[in-house]
Structure formats: structure tokens, C-alpha cells
Structure 1
Amino acid sequence: MGHVDLPAIATARESEKPLSSEEHPSDHFPDGGFRAWATAFGGFLVQFCTYGYTISFGVYQDFYSQTYLTNQSPSTIAWIGSVNAFLFEMCGLISGQLYDRGYVRQLVIGASLLQAISLFMLSLAKPDQYYQIFLSQGIGSGCAAGLLYIPSMAVVSQYFRKRRELVMTFVASGACLGAVVHPIMLNNTLNGSIGFANGVRASAGLISGLLFIACFLIKPRFPPSKASTTFLATANKCAHDPAYIFGTAGLTIFAVGFYYPLFYLQLDSAMHGLSKTFSFYSLVIMNTSSFVGQLTSGVLVEYFGVPAVLTGSTFVGTVLLFALIGLRTIASVVTIGILYGYSAGIFQALWAPVLAVLSPDPSDLGARMGISYAFMAFGGLIGPPISGALLTGDYIWWRGAVFNGIMGAIGCSCFIAMQVVLRHRDHDSQ
């Protein structure tokens, strides 16, 4: 498809309320300026500290399996990360509705505080005390990240129209930069001289400081709106929108396989006898490539459109999930890590933009994002534990690769169906 301009999330709100007591509503978007870029950078920091930490769980999966939770199976440990990812997306139901009503700063400040508390509580968890880690890292940090995601991404659309796609992908790239920095820091602290407690505290201190800065930078342009579509009305519209249904199904099913390399690549490398140092940096290689993928996704979208780029990234990701069957050497880890990381980065960058394309009414975009992420949450919840169960205690790696590759193929097929519906819709509207 050609270029698809993302809908303006705040356009409806602009027509309902003045920007100030002395100004009349207008369709003007700054598309730049200090306040606009400060808000975008604040969103970037939020992504760095939340989803960037979530997708760094592979470090913890390896550390817990071999050192800190040796009394638990890989599948049981994976539930910590998968519940975190589940709540990250499920909490969008709440944050999406609150965003549509204008409560951006309240969400950002409250959820930032929750993220800081959760990570400092994680540092107090004792070895082989699964429930302590599960409550703080799985539930507490997952809820905080979920409440922060939608407002930090969507608020950017209140400032940018012409460059909205590029700016949104910039904000989303904070997650992949975080997924580069956090594994380096965690691997060198958890496995270093300072140990688990101080290593997690150092990480929590970095995240708390950056979120503190983000709370000052993020500022919405519009006051809370009293006029908003009810959740049930939005859900009813979604249920009668084939393109939205296929898009949400694609996100949900692909998410089942999406987290497999993020959670298991480092452990996979270590269990195949590769050096400990290289295994530590296998996630860094993949996440660095993801960062590049997110940064370049905006350029690709300019030429091919959001749906086509998203479909292409999931097709490549599916092929590479199957390719994990052949992971044996350093060269195979590097190759798969770079290629999968790049496709995964594009996929992550386009979650919000594709839902914007699928939302004809900008005033209910927050709710539509929340609904899609709630379904997607179930994919992230069940995927890693199923993979762990398939691996068993004997680590039979081909089983996980085949299962997650099949899930990726089904998800990619849903995105192809979504494109077909969108093309028919565009044709009928001409």
C-alpha cells in the first residue's frame, strides 16, 4: 500500500475544546518546538524504562534458571516475564480509557512511582523465593509499564501531524535502546561482584531517575475532555470492523511466538556450550539490531505504508523463528540475532501506528489500542511458558522453534488478510 497518514488522536478533542480561554479551536499542530520535542523525549525515556526492561527478561531467565531460582523449571520462571508482558498490554484497557479522558500526567506520575517501587522491592527478594520475585517483577513492574505505554506513545500525536510516524517510531525506539543498555548493566552486575540485590538496586536507581525526568517533560496539549466514547460503544464498533479484527488477531497470535528469542536466546546460547561472555551479549546483539529496526521503520513506512511494512516484518520474523532449529554456533547466533532483532524492532515500532491506521475515529483511539493490547496480552502470557514446557528440563530446543514458528506464520497470515480488507475498503471509498 502507499503511504497511510496516521489519524490525529486529538483532532476530535480539538474541535470540542479551545486550547485556552482566549483561543478558538483550530487544526494547528506545532510539528516541532521545545514543548513538542520535550514530550517526545519524555516518551522515549518512558519506553526505555518500561518495555525496554520487559524485553530484557532473557537476562533474568538465564540468571534465575542457573543461579537464583534453581528449584524452579524454565517454564515456571518464564511465567514471571510472561505475566509482566501480559500486564504491560492488559493494563492498556485502563490507560487507554484514561488517556481518552485526558489524564496523561496523572498516569505518568503514578505509574512511574509504581515502577520504581516494584524494582526496589525486587532487590529485596531472596534466593529460591519465587513468589517474592513474581509479585514485584511480574505483577508490580508489569502493571506500571502497562499504565505508562499508551499515554507516553499517544500523547505525541497531540503535537505532530506531518512527522507523526517518524516521531512515534523515535519514541518507540526507546524500548530497544533500553533492551541494549539493561542487559549489559544487568549481566555485569548480577553475575559480577556486587550480586543480585545491589545489581537490581543500581538498575532501579537508573530507571527511577530517568522516569523522574520524564514526568517533567511529558505535558499534554489538551485538558481532560468530558466528551468521550463509552468503552462498550467502542468495543461494538471494533466487533464489526473486519480489518481491525484481523489486525488484532495478528498481533495476538504473533505475540505468542514473538517473545521466544527475547526470553530464551541467551539461555539457548549458553546451553549449546558457547562462551559465557558471548552468551551474555547475544541479547545485546539482537536488541541493538532491534533499535536500528525501530529507527528505520519510519522511513520504510513513508514508502510502503504501515500495514505492508508490518506484514513484511512478521514474515521475516516467522522464517527466523523456524531457523532457531539450526542454532549451534556463534555465527548462527549472530546471524539470527541480527536479523530477528531487526524484524522485531519494526514490529514493536508499528504496534501503535497500525492501530491508528485501523481507527477511523481518532477520539476513541486510546480505547481501541487498549482493547487490542488486552487480546495481545494473552499471546505474550502463554507463549514463553508453553515454550518452556516444550523445552522440558532436557532443553529440547527444536520443539520451541517449531511451535513459535507456526504461531508466527498464523499471525502473519492475519496481517495479510487485514491488508486485503483495507485495500477493498480503499477501493470502495474511491
Structure 2
Amino acid sequence: MSPHAKTVASWGNLSHGGHMVAAPSFHDEIPMALNELIAQCRSVLPYGLGRSYGDVCLNTGKGLLLTERLDRFLTFDATSGILRAEAGVTIGEALRLTVPKGWFVPVTPGTKFVTLGGAVANDVHGKNHHLAGTFGRFVRKLALRRSDGSVTECGPDRERDLFRATIGGLGLTGLIEWVEIDLQPIASAEIEMQSLRFAGVEGFFEMSADSVSWPYVVSWIDCLSQGSALGRGIFMRGRHAETGALVAARAKGGLGIPVTPPVGLVTPLSVRLFNEAYYRRPGATFTGRTHFDPFFYPLDRLHHWNRAYGPRGFYQYQSVLPPETARRGTIEMLKCIAASGQASCLVVLKNFGDAPAAGMLSFPMAGTTLALDFPNRGNRTLALFAALDDIVVRCGGRLYAAKDARMVPAMFHGGYPELDRFRTFLDPAFDSDLKRRLSI
């Protein structure tokens, strides 16, 4: 368990940095691992599965405390739906335990390969934000270890300010040792869903207004379409079925990309062909049932899909614009992207609700969020992001730090009004590439 050198990258594969890492297996090994990393490296950062796209999970040249072996369930009450587990437990592992008992995670991102600690530290959101809000709203309490050796149990009704700083706190307030959450009851592992085409971005806003009672709503859009087809896409909405088997997971398997190809497979031509085929496919219009796994986690069956972007990696750009500017700002952004010719086949457009933020640095707010993956094409890609930044700032929006790798400090500072208050809860020994880059 002694710290050792390791090269670590985030999911975007934009850079590969050397770190000193320690991976405690048991709770009583945490203090020594933390102290040794701080003594050797002067700073440390918790690291789950590394599914963050940018540099929020990196601490290059310094220490990482890996939580992957701290993955035990502590308590689960199948009557009340209260789950307490160590921070290294993943959403997928939690579902394997709870779904057969009739319980589901209250909020889930687009991959189940996320630890509970990571879900808290990035205050993840999902297809149900318009009704449920973020993951942090369902955290009952957590245990936070600070570099001074103290362990504080905090929650909405105890040490509330420290709790709100830790929810969405990017791993900078200390090490989350365990998390206790409220689950939601389900009667079936199946989802009743509808999938509908819309011919342009106005169709998205019309369908969104007509779908506010659906618990889960999300859209894929073709970001290369222009003219009257600008922002055409596929609108998906779903709800938990009221009858059916409580089967936790589908059969294992699926395809994967075994190695990183020498050149990226995501090109303007390949994306244009994919987008056209995906939009026109017969299954684009569908009403019926599906297991929750392909509904929530379609990309999880393509293992190591991030390798498709090649050795230069990729960026994800996710913004949110407030309701009063969302329509015009989204249209302006889509026009800018389409005109640039830079390709993204993984595009998500959805509306956020007005649930109060769980954390001081929680990303979601009422409005419309647009998330896109872009191959790293150097200055050309950065120039596109600068143009998108200008739109987001003018529209009063902000970017998601958990997926960012190049935002400038001024944009981050201007987008998060509770930043100064958050800073008072920073642990001086916890650091990250993102913290240094954004001058947090």
C-alpha cells in the first residue's frame, strides 16, 4: 500500500501525468496512506474510477489516493431504501444490490461506472433533473476525513455548510469515506419509454414543454445539421414500469476498443455518416419497454469507447443557459458548431429544473444544457470553444467543471457565485490540476 509512481489520465485522454498513488484496501489503512502521500507530495486528491473528462481528477506530479478498493456496503435497509456504502462503491454495484429488492438510485449520470464518492464530489445529474435535481439532494449524510486527521459526519442537518461545500466540491474539501443516500422505490427493472424524431431545435423545446410529467427526459441532436434542420434530433422520455421482473443487470458482454488507434476514428465524415444513419434508423421512433441498463447507460456496453478519439484524446464541452436566454443561446451555439465543421456524434440536449442547488459549486441551474464531445484538433478546437464561451457568458450561463479541461479562471469565477464562500472550506492539503488552473 506504500505510495508508488504511476501515470494516470482522465477519461478524455488529453494528457498523461505522473502521480504518486496509494490504494488503501481497508478503512483503517486510510490515515497512513493519506499522511504518507501528503508527506511525500505536499498535496493529495481522491481518485475514483477516473471517468471525469478533464483534469478535475488529476493532481499531476503530486499525490492521488485511489478509492477503488474501498468498495464495501455498510448498511442497506430494504424497507426504507436507505443505503450506506464506502465511497469506492460504484453506481453499478449499488444497483446490483438494490434493484432486486425494489430500489433504484435517485439520480444517475450516463454511466454506471462512477463511484458514490465521485457522484457526490461532482454532484452528478441525470435525465430526471427537471423533477429530481442532482445526486447531492438525496445524500443523507457522509463522513469526511480532513488532512488534520479529523473525521466529520455531515449532512443537511449537521455541519451543513461543510456538507454543501463537499457536495460538488470537486474533491477539494477532504476525503469522503462513506456516503448514505435515499433510494427511490421501483416495481420493475424495465422502463416504459418513447423515442421521437424532431426536425429542428424548435421541436426539442416543444417536446420538452410537453414532457414535464415524464420522470426521465433527454435528447440526442445532430450538431452538423444546418438550415431548417438545425438541431434536428431524437427525443427520448421514460418512466419506471409498474410491473415486471426486478433484474439488476443484463447479460454481460458487449463490444470494446482494445487499443488506442494511431489516428482518431471520429472524423467529420464518419460523424456525418453516423448522424444521418442514427437519425434515420427505424428505431428512432419507438414506444415500448426496455431494461433500465440500455436506457440509462447506452455507452457502457462499448468498453473503452474513449479510445476511438485516438492518441490526442477529446474534450467534452457542457454548458447550461438560463431559461430567458436558453432558446436563442442554444440556437446560436448550434449554428457556431455546425459552421465550424467540427464533429461530435455524442451530443446531449435537455432542460434542467429549478430545484435548489445541493452544493456551493453545483453545476445545474434552471435552463437548458448542451453537452458535446469533440476530438482534440488543437488550436482549431480551442478557437471553437472560445467562440462558444462568448455565447455562454453573454447568455448568463456557465460550464461544468467536472467535464472541463480548458476553461479560463474568469469564466469559472463569474459562473459560480458561491465560490468565495466555498474557498473557506478548502482543505489546504487537497489539490488538483483543475484547482490550480482555475485559481480556486
TM-score, length-normalised on structure 1? 0.28
Larger % of strand: which? Answer: 2
TM-score, length-normalised on structure 2? 0.27
- Choose between structure 1 and 2 for higher RCO, CA contacts under 8 A separated by at least 6 residues: 1
